[in-house]
Amino acid sequence: MTRDEIKDLILEIIEDIDEDAEFDNLDADAPLRDQLDLDSMDFLDIVMELRKRYKLQIPEEEYPELATLTSCVNYLEPKLKDV
């Protein structure tokens, strides 16, 4: 997956959680939780969806890597490079 595809994937998963989520003014380098109406259970939904779709096992200590859109892409790029 390319970096853009990973970005789109994350946004697609978030949109599936909250169809009212607004991405127009999203700062890719700022925490998603500060910009979108997401809580810890929503982040677990993101983790679960990645596990279901790509069999990705993300250890709990690495959850902070999913804080911003950019950090998500950085973290997931090597894991999804062959997808």
Residues that bind other proteins (CB under 8 A): 17-20, 41, 44-45, 48, 51-52, 57
Which CB atom, from 1 or from 56, has the smaller least distance to other proteins? Answer: 56
Residue type, 3: R
Whole-number Å distance between alpha carbons of 77 and 83: 10
Closer residue to other proteins, CB minimum distance, 5 or 15 = 15
Does residue 6 contact residue 53 with C-beta atoms inside 8 Å? Answer: no
Q: Considering the complex, what minimum distance in angstroms separates the CB of residue 47 from other proteins?
A: 9
Q: Which of 24, 3, 21, 2 is nearest to 12 (CA)?
A: 21
Query: Smallest distance, Å, CB 38 to other proteins?
Result: 10
Nearer to other proteins, 39 or 82 (CB): 39
In angstroms, give the least distance from the CB of 3 to other proteins. Answer: 27
C-alpha span between 37 and 39 (Å, rounded): 7
